[in-house]
Chain A
């Protein structure tokens, strides 16, 4: 069966520090991968998606970037965090764009 992992589970970082969140998927190959953010009191917003290694599409301009160095690894990064980057970051995968998306447990980021 397929599983999706995210780490760390919780992160507290100072403003201006770098960020690296990791997401890995097991039990499938060539998945579509997605990064969403859930800001406090708001719904989820798609940040990035990837249909293959090295292929990243950004949905909204922001202080973040994403990379996919391996087939089942998706990384969310920032060079300098802003207060507004605080939120709950969720990674998701699907077998194809038209298939159901399955979400990881999430990373709660607090920027102080």
Chain B
């Protein structure tokens, strides 16, 4: 079945450090891939997305490249800030539905990775 696996957290970094949060997926068909961010006490916000292989999503200094050969979508940022402290979720949405079902737009999420950035 379809699934997303993220590296376990929490990830603790000093300000201006380089960030990588690993995300790998298993999916049938051709999934779209997403990173969502959840700041303390808030709902989820879309951070970036990629809809096909080799696409690079980017936003707010974060980047992730859709790697079909390694089924990965790792999140990176060159220099983190204290304000980046949040929970990051990797997610996929399959393009081709399971036979017999309809397209729902269902997002399948990883378990989330907590990032703590210290000044």
Contacts and interface: CB of A to CB of B under 8 A. Distances in A.
B109 A43 contact: yes
Q: Which of A6, A98, A101, A106 has the most CB of B within 10 A?
A: A101
B104 A44 contact: no
Given A44-B89, A90-B44, A101 B105 contact: yes
B43 A49 contact: no
Contacts of B112: 43
B46 A102 contact: yes
B83 interface: no
A97 B104 contact: yes
Contacts of A98: 32, 93, 95, 103, 105
Interface in A12-52: 32, 34, 36, 42-46, 49
Contacts of B95: 98
Nearest to B111: A43
Contacts, number: 55
A49 B45 contact: no
B44 A94 contact: no
B105 A32 contact: yes
B74 interface: no
B110 A43 contact: yes
B42 A105 contact: yes
A43 B34 CA distance: 14
Interface of B: 32, 34, 36, 42-46, 49, 89, 93, 95, 103-107, 109-112
Nearest 5 Cβ contacts at the A-B interface? A97-B105, A43-B111, A103-B44, A97-B103, A106-B43
